[in-house]
Amino acid sequence: MTPRVVFITGAASGIGRATARLLAAAENDLVLMDLQGDGLCELADELSLSDGVTVVSIGGDVSDEADMDQAVHAVTSNWGRLDAVVVNAGINGVWAPIDDLTPEEWDRTIRINLRGTYLTINRTVPLLKKSGGGAIVVVASINGVRTFTNPGATAYSASKAAQVAMVQQLALELARHGIRINVVCPGAIDTNIAASSQIRHREQTEIPVVWPDGSVPITGGEPGRAEDVARIIGFLLSDASAHMTGSPIFVDGGQGLLR
């Protein structure tokens, strides 16, 4: 496989980290971005040991223009080209009844999950065009499509639904440039994302459900692993998915089908 240059956000942990490992093993060069600069450097050191793989890490906030420009500059100064982008950084934010959710809490979730997605794509598309095309994968959630799963997750679900809509719109816009864009919608995955959550008044947002909390049909209840999602991201970046664009792909073990 010809080494490709791939930009991954939220790469220090969970799905982003598993994706970075998978793509480094397939000899892709990587630019990794995350707020957690330390975790990122550690990962970059580990992956740089792979034969023939160059890994650059950038500590920064995906919703901050200057940080994003710094990351894009790292791509241009090291390679002058870009082939693929994984738009993965995200937070759960505050899950609470709508009348208890503050404007600041709403804004923070939308800023990181949605403005971050916009900025990542806005700043990397010119490089993909210059490279003659490429592939983008956005990591949304089953919450973006099947919002009954987590009551109280209003801002999170809105940001994830908007990501799905953006991808479908952009698939049309970017096709003429040879750029494919798809979106994965994971269900419950065992990562550190719970650390980015604050759930208030759970009792007020709980709705009656007919399946045990966290149930996942294909595993009998266990959440999926970050690697389960990374493999699908790898597929969507590869030529094996050459005829796919604008597609939402569920990676949820059937979780979203239950209600």
Site for ligand NAD in 54-73 (CB under 6 A): 61-63
Q: Which two tokens stand for residue 128?
A: 């993909």
172/257 with CB nearer ligand NAD: 257
Q: Binding pattern to ligand NAD, positions 11-50, x when CB under 6 A?
A: -xxxxx-----------------xxx--------------
Q: Does 253 bind ligand NAD (CB under 6 A)?
A: no
Q: Report the C-alpha gap between 38 and 12 in whole angstroms.
A: 8
Among positions 112, 114, 167, 171, the unique one binding ligand NAD when judged by CB under 6 A = 112
Site for ligand NAD in 161-180 (CB under 6 A): none
Note whether 33 and 60 are within 8 A (CB): yes
Residues whose CB falls within 8 Å of the CB of residue 1, separated by 6 or more in sequence, listed in order? 26, 27
Q: Does 76 bind ligand NAD (CB under 6 A)?
A: no
Q: Does 135 bind ligand NAD (CB under 6 A)?
A: no
* Secondary structure (DSSP) of 61-120: -TT-HHHHHHHHHHHHHHTS---EEEE-----EEE--GGG--HHHHHHHHIIIIIHHHHH
17/131 with CB nearer ligand NAD: 17
The kind and range of the H/E element at 234 are helix 226-237
Among positions 29, 94, 101, 116, the unique one binding ligand NAD when judged by CB under 6 A = 116
Q: Does 191 bind ligand NAD (CB under 6 A)?
A: yes
Q: Does 234 bind ligand NAD (CB under 6 A)?
A: no
The region of 146-154, 170-178, 186-194, 209-217 touching ligand NAD under the rule CB under 6 A is: 186-194
Among positions 169, 192, 198, 204, the unique one binding ligand NAD when judged by CB under 6 A = 192
The residues carrying an active-site annotation are 156
Q: Does 255 bind ligand NAD (CB under 6 A)?
A: no
The region of 84-92, 95-103, 169-177, 236-244 touching ligand NAD under the rule CB under 6 A is: 84-92
**CA 19 to each of CA 22, 166, 209, 227: distance values in angstroms, whole numbers, following the listed order:** 5, 22, 33, 7
Q: Report the C-alpha gap between 43 and 16 in whole angstroms.
A: 11
Q: Report the C-alpha gap between 146 and 115 in whole angstroms.
A: 22
Q: Which two tokens stand for residue 98?
A: 């709508």
Q: Does 91 bind ligand NAD (CB under 6 A)?
A: yes
- Which strands sit side by side in the sheet containing 179-186, from one edge to the other? 55-59, 29-34, 5-9, 84-87, 134-139, 179-186, 248-251
**CA 50 to each of CA 54, 71, 93, 121, 230: distance values in angstroms, whole numbers, following the listed order:** 9, 22, 35, 28, 18
Q: Does 186 bind ligand NAD (CB under 6 A)?
A: yes
Interface with ligand NAD by CB under 6 A: which residues?
9-10, 12-16, 34-36, 61-63, 88-91, 112, 116, 139, 141, 186, 188-189, 191-193, 196, 226
